[in-house]
C-alpha cells in the first residue's frame, strides 16, 4: 500500500527496471516537455509544484527553467523512487528542489505556487478533474496549470509497418474502456480543465520521431513492454510465477 493506505494504480509497476525506463523515457520526451512548459509560461524565478515526480526528470527540467532564484517542490506517491530523484538532484547541483512523499489529493502544501506541472500523471489517477481542481488551490492568482499528457489513440508507429510493431501495439495499448490508465488523456485535457473550473486551456500537440541504430526509442518500447508484462499476464489469466 502507499501513503494514506491508497491503492497503487500505476500499471507499469515500481521496479528498479521501471525507474530506469522512466529515465529513458525522458531522453525521448524531455525536449517536448521543455517546449511545452516554456510555452505555458514557466520561467526564471518561479515557484513550481511538480506532481508525480518519479525519478526526478521533470523536476530537474523545471529546476533548469526556473533557475537558482526559483523553487521546485515535487510530490510522488512512491516514496522509494524519491531516493533516486534526490540523488540525481544532488548530483546536478540543484539546492532549490525538494521532494515530498504522498498523495497530492491529501497533502497540505503552500498556497503560493506560480505553477503546477506534471507529465503523464493525470492518465494514471482515478479522478483527474478532482485532482486538477485541488491543485489549483495551491496556486497564487493567475498561476499556471501545465500537464503534459499523451493520447494513445495515436499509438507509436513504425514505418514501414511490421508484424512485430503491430503486435506491440496490441499488447501495449488496451482497447477503449479497459481498466487502468486513461489512454486518451491528452485529448481529454480541454474538458478536464473546464470541468475543474479553469478557463479553456491553450493546447499543444507534438510527437517525437527518430530512427537509426542509436535511437533510444526501440529500447524504450521494449522496456515499456517489460514493465507491462505482469499486467498483461494477469489479463490473460497467466500466473507470472
pLDDT in tens, 158-217: 888 888 888 877 777 776 666 678 889 999 999 999 999 999 999 999 988 898 888 888
For the chain, the maximum distance between any two Cα atoms, rounded to a whole number of angstroms, is 53
**Residue of 125, 108, 123 whose CA lies nearest to 6:** 125
pLDDT in tens, 146-165: 999 998 777 777 888 888 88
Whole-model pTM: value is 0.84
Q: What pLDDT is attached to residue 141? A: 96
pLDDT in tens, 64-120: 999 999 999 999 998 999 999 999 999 999 999 999 999 999 999 999 999 999 999
Cα gap 146→187, rounded to integer Å: 14
Bigger pLDDT: 21 or 57? 57
Q: What pLDDT is attached to residue 5? A: 44
Amino acid at each position: 500500500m502507499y501513503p494514506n493506505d491508497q491503492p497503487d494504480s500505476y500499471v507499469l509497476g515500481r521496479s528498479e527496471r521501471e525507474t530506469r525506463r522512466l529515465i529513458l523515457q525522458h531522453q525521448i520526451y524531455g525536449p517536448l516537455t521543455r517546449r511545452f512548459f516554456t510555452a505555458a509560461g514557466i520561467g526564471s524565478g518561479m515557484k513550481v509544484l511538480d506532481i508525480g515526480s518519479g525519478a526526478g526528470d521533470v523536476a530537474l527540467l523545471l529546476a533548469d527553467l526556473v533557475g537558482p532564484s526559483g523553487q521546485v517542490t515535487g510530490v510522488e506517491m512512491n516514496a522509494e523512487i524519491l531516493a533516486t530523484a534526490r540523488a540525481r538532484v544532488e548530483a546536478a547541483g540543484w539546492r532549490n528542489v525538494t521532494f515530498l512523499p504522498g498523495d497530492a489529493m491529501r497533502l497540505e502544501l503552500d498556497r503560493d505556487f506560480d505553477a503546477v506541472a506534471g507529465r503523464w500523471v493525470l492518465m494514471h489517477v482515478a479522478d483527474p478533474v478532482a485532482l486538477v481542481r485541488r491543485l489549483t488551490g495551491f496556486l497564487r492568482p493567475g498561476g499556471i496549470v501545465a500537464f503534459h499528457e499523451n493520447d494513445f489513440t495515436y499509438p507509436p508507429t513504425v514505418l514501414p509497418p511490421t508484424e512485430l510493431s503491430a503486435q506491440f501495439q496490441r499488447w501495449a495499448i488496451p482497447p477503449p474502456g479497459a481498466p487502468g490508465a486513461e489512454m486518451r488523456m491528452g485529448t481529454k485535457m480541454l474538458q478536464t480543465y473546464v470541468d475543474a473550473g479553469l478557463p479553456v486551456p491553450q493546447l499543444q500537440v507534438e510527437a517525437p520521431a527518430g530512427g537509426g541504430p542509436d535511437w533510444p526509442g526501440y529500447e524504450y518500447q521494449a522496456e515499456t513492454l517489460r514493465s507491462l508484462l505482469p499486467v498483461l499476464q494477469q489479463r490473460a489469466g497467466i500466473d507470472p510465477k
